[in-house]
Copies of this chain bind each other. A is one copy, B any other.
Amino acid sequence: MPQADQGHAMRFDEPLKLDSGRTLPGFTIAYATYGTLNATRSNAVLICHALTGDQFVIGTNPMTGKPGWWETMVGPGKPIDTERFFVICTNVLSGCMGSSGPASIDPATGQAHGLAFPMVTVADMVRAQARLIEALGIETLACVTGGSMGGMQVLEWMAKFPQRVGRALPIATAAHHTAQNIALHEIGRQAIMGDPDWRNGDYLKAGVKPSRGLSTARMIGHVSYLSEAALGRKFGRAVCSNARASFGFEQEFEVESYLHYQGASFVERFDANAYLYITRAMDYFELDSMTAFKDLKARVQGVSFTSDWLFPTAENRRICEGLKASGVDANLREIDTDRGHDAFLLEEPELFDLVRDFLK
């Protein structure tokens, strides 16, 4: 077992101009690394996390006490092999695991920024991340990878820093957030902002948390990350073993109990305002895949999953077609699985083989 990286944080005092037109006077990026950077600094793999992810890819997450979110993919001898590669993962700007965001402390007031924190886009997240990569003395990344919003960050790296990307592996993502995706996010945000404990975003000052709203938002997300087939296979219409047919509104079906568990454990580890900010960043995401990648020389391997209805194959194919039209060496692999969008986090041997081959 690799030792868990307890995480680092780097402070940047040079202002960061944001897409919104506002400027962050300074910011902190929290990150974790695994493996060893080689002498030529050429073996760095940047992993970009998804909406509810964090920098703790493997080992025990020091914030939650749980295993890292990509144990299946990363580690000694794993497809992203920490014996070969120096793996870096940063908590996104506006996240809640140590990077600057609505939950971080504003030094001017000694209190959480809350909604005073400026809105951040995926491009802003990547700009901040690029500062860290520079500060670590890494000119070119051997590979940039990530799924979902992680994949959006990969696309931003490809578009904005084409010279600094050796290979790119965007997984289950899209060049723009679709209307359905925006709709699902907005519903989650409404659940949070409708919770009276949200207090217009100032809940941390008041010592409360909009747990119920955040839990509901998480449930919506969770359903969208799975598939009808996966939910059917896992739960079907099974009734909780300790429940009678209650003919009431308690959790009675196992799928309800599962969702409540997902909601409750999420509110333990995630900040509600960060959820608002990051979902909004995804909603704003929009690259023109026909023109964005003109200067890219990297090899690109895209991945999609047949049962992913949130970031379906068609969206991933559009990226690949844009890349090819720009003369980029790009391929898309559609993996047949009924596990939905979350398949990239799960035991998917075809994905592991593909990544292993791609990084050879």
Chain A interfacial positions (CB closer than 8 Å to B)? 19-20, 22, 118-119, 176-180, 182-184, 186-187, 189-191, 193-196, 212-213, 215-216, 219-220, 223, 226-228, 231-232, 234-237, 245, 247-249, 251, 253, 255-256, 259, 263, 276, 280, 283-284, 286, 309, 312
Check B312 against A183 for contact (C-beta < 8 Å): no
Given A191-B216, A247-B119, answer yes or no on A256-B176 (Cβ-Cβ < 8 Å): no
Check B182 against A255 for contact (C-beta < 8 Å): yes
Which B residue's beta carbon lies closest to that of A196?
Answer: B196
Selected contact of A118 from candidates B179, B190, B234, B247, CB within 8 Å: B247
Distance A13 CA – B285 CA, assembled complex (angstroms): 60
Distance A237 CA – B315 CA, assembled complex (angstroms): 14
Q: Within 8 Å CB of A20, what residues of B?
A: 245, 247
Selected contact of A223 from candidates B19, B184, B191, B231, CB within 8 Å: B184
Distance A255 CA – B284 CA, assembled complex (angstroms): 13
Q: What are 20 A-B residue pairs whose CB atoms fall within 8 Å in the complex?
A: A178-B236, A178-B237, A179-B235, A180-B223, A180-B231, A180-B232, A182-B237, A182-B253, A182-B256, A183-B256, A183-B259, A184-B223, A186-B256, A187-B219, A190-B219, A191-B191, A194-B195, A194-B212, A194-B216, A220-B220
Given A118-B247, A220-B220, A256-B182, answer yes or no on A190-B177 (Cβ-Cβ < 8 Å): no
Distance A179 CA – B220 CA, assembled complex (angstroms): 14
Check A179 against B232 for contact (C-beta < 8 Å): yes
Check B178 against A253 for contact (C-beta < 8 Å): no
Q: Within 8 Å CB of A248, what residues of B?
A: 119
Q: Within 8 Å CB of A247, what residues of B?
A: 19-20, 22, 118-119, 280
Number of copies: 2
Distance A263 CA – B309 CA, assembled complex (angstroms): 24
Distance A253 CA – B247 CA, assembled complex (angstroms): 39
Grouping DSSP codes into helix (H, G, I), strand (E, B) and loop, the A interface class, with mixed when no group exceeds half, is helix
Distance A256 CA – B190 CA, assembled complex (angstroms): 10
Check B193 against A249 for contact (C-beta < 8 Å): yes
Q: How far is the CB of A190 from chain B (nearest CB, A)?
A: 5
Given A215-B190, A237-B177, answer yes or no on A183-B286 (Cβ-Cβ < 8 Å): no
Q: How far is the CB of A329 from chain B (nearest CB, A)?
A: 29
Distance A251 CA – B283 CA, assembled complex (angstroms): 12
Check A228 against B312 for contact (C-beta < 8 Å): yes
Check A249 against B280 for contact (C-beta < 8 Å): yes
Which B residue's beta carbon lies closest to that of A20?
Answer: B247
Check A186 against B219 for contact (C-beta < 8 Å): yes
Distance A226 CA – B309 CA, assembled complex (angstroms): 13
Q: How far is the CB of A47 from chain B (nearest CB, A)?
A: 27
Q: Within 8 Å CB of A182, what residues of B?
A: 237, 253, 255-256
Check B119 against A186 for contact (C-beta < 8 Å): no
A-B contact sample (19 more), CB < 8 A, given A20-B245, A182-B256, A216-B216: A118-B247, A119-B247, A177-B237, A178-B231, A179-B234, A180-B228, A180-B231, A186-B255, A186-B259, A190-B215, A191-B194, A191-B216, A193-B249, A194-B195, A194-B212, A194-B216, A196-B196, A228-B312, A249-B276
